[in-house]
Structure 1
Amino acid sequence: MNLIPVSEDSLVEPAQPDLPEPHLRPSPPAPGPSLRSSPPAPGPSLRPSPPAPGPSLRPSPPAPGPSLRPSPPAPRPISSSTPDKVSEATKKQASSRRSDHRIRKLKEEMERLKKGLLREKRRADRFRKTLQRLRNPKSKATSKINKLKSVRKAAATRQSVVEFLTRDENSRLLPGKKDTVTQNKVRKQRRVLTKSLKELYKEYKSNLGSEHTISYRQFGRLRPFYVTEPKASDRNTCACFDHENVKLLLDRIHQSGFIGSKSISDALVQIVCDVKKKKCMFRQCAKCCYSEIELAIPQNTGLVTWHQWQRERVCSEGKTFPHFVKRALTGKWEDLLKSFNEKLDALAKHQYIWIYQVEQCRALKNSLQDHEAVVHMDFSENYACKLNVEVQSFHYGGMMNGQYGHI
């Protein structure tokens, strides 16, 4: 094997420029001279010569070259068929989104400022009222006086409603011993309304509306607890014969839709000038003595049925006595309207006398002296005498003698 002598000068490599640091992993070393030690040069010395200076055993920095990291994919070229308007539309959408966002932010800020302004206004109002109260020490006393006035006015209104609803023409007192109502440990005898609450409210406004102005809802609230609507068990066994016949006719006409109200008072208002004048109610007024209620009844309406109380004479065991029965009558609408006007004309006088008696009785009650009293009596009949021990034939045979008296 032939050895080629190598000189020291040939082992010195030229200076290399500074290379950048590698990105990922070091590249393989660049080709250069062999790393093996060269054989000793021939000479008389037996010791091996020190190794000639050579390249460093450390791996040389990698030579500059392409990076091993995969390069990002190149953007795809836009097709030549896509118009330039696509980019403009995208820009417009982005700008519109930014403007919408700004508008929303501005609206939220405006709402926040409005709430703050309202809060500050309320604080300013409180401070102003406090300042006025401190400057004017009489305002507190004035407010107390106004409060007392309002309380007194409310109490007067309530008292007026109670007095109006407890009138004998507006409600009737139940005579039963058990017909009582208790509320808050206050026991009262029940009274039943004789008219609807709406009709009573109209009369209250016409009579006392100038002094006490209240709504229908408040009128219902101020009704006393012992004045109630009539129930099915509250049978009126003392109804007026004339009033009931007119009411039956009026209900039948109202049921057919030819008249708007079922109130007898409203019907009387249509045929007289003034319900409080005696001459008008006695049908002696020259202006209204011939007035009647005229209804636009269509032709060919056929027959109509209505009910009336009638007085009949019954003979029994050689005795004749009057008997009242409720009969169903059938006829034309003209007959019903004629009967209604006749009975309403006769009822006007009866209504005036009844209202006048009630008003006079109320005036006597309100003007009582300390040494005076009012006694209200009712005629009672068919009271029977009872024994502690009775035979069966005496109890069920009707052998008891009836007693009559005033209670």
Structure 2
Amino acid sequence: MNKFWIILWHTYWAKLRTKSFIITTIITSLIVVGLTNIENIINTFDQNDQKEKIAVLDETGELYPAFEQQLSMINTQLLLEEVKMEEQELEDKVINGDYTGYLKISLDQEQLPQGIYKAMTVTDTQVSSQLQQGLQSLKVAIATESLGITSEQLDTLFSPVKMEQVALEQNAKTEEELNQARGLVYILLFIIYMAVIMYASMIAMEVATEKSSRVMEILISSVSPVKQMFGKILGIGLLSITQFAVILLVGYTSLKQNLNSLEGGMFEFFGFGQLPVATFVYAIIFFLLGYFLFATLAAFLGSLVSRIEDVQQMITPMTLLIVGAFMIAMFGLSNPDSTFVTVTSFIPFFTPMIMFLRVGMLNIPFWEIGLGIGLLVLTITALAIFGASVYRGGVLMYGKSSSFKDIIKAIQLSKSK
């Protein structure tokens, strides 16, 4: 057992001190800080940018004051200036940079406002769409006034209809609880997806690297393949927890500073405070089981290659399984009780994501959860036994790995030892 812990801690410390791990952690943390400060960053750039200056040529001579009032309710950053000059002169001023563009306002056949906006380019759709919204609001105001409709009546007419959804199933989640669960499930699904993609590949690379240096021949003679394989799996698992802990701590600290205080904690701030504790427990369970499932698979796949360049090719089918599970889970966020989602949640390679999706968003019988976890545990156990056999023979195989037929060769080599 002492050798197992030696391998575990050696794997952990060796990876923890690598430049790639440190740089990845720093870059990811900086991205998280950037995302949590995105509003401040945008405001900083907006302060440095010059405000858009738009010339308005009102051919009616009456609509500009009302239009300016309507646009001020949409965007206060646009600077409007009413001008009285020829269009050719206005176009020259736009070309020279005196104005961002100019808007010509006129009346159509029904005596309602219409406009033409001219600028150097039409790539900035935000300005043109805001000017159009201002004209639209002005058109509605003029039309309703001519029809004798008051602003209060207009607000009543366009106010959204109220419709409440009520679930008749006993103990069914309310619409608010579903929205909260959907947010948490989405975040945790993404974490599971990223963790499995990153760290399962890291395990395969670790095995292939040691094998390419021929130290495997020494290790395999002194440590059992099961201890060696799970020592690496748990070592890199501990590494993943360390990295996620640093990133979450940085993100939480940055977010807390921006909001001054988070009463009741981060979960309450994001609307997760009312979710059952069981949801978070299941999130941890399925995260760990999903990691062990794909990490075990990656370890013995990595043992089949002799060159680091062949690792990605060998683990591509595993990566496609993870991507497939994630895509099904994304579909299931809007339709978690579909038959397709229910069936795929019992397929072990999809269970960590899809069964957790169902647990988070639906009230499903405990036996379904137990069956999913049971199948997952059995699959991990079978992969561990099978993987240990492949691992023992695979680490002694050298040469280019061209196909999964090498698995049979690895098992035969393991039996001969």
Structure with larger RCO (C-alpha < 8 A, sep 6+):
2
Same fold (TM over 0.5): no
Instruction: Using structure 1 for the length normalisation, give the TM-score.
Output: 0.19
Choose 1 or 2 for highest CA Rg.
1
More helix by share: 2
TM-score by length of 2: 0.19
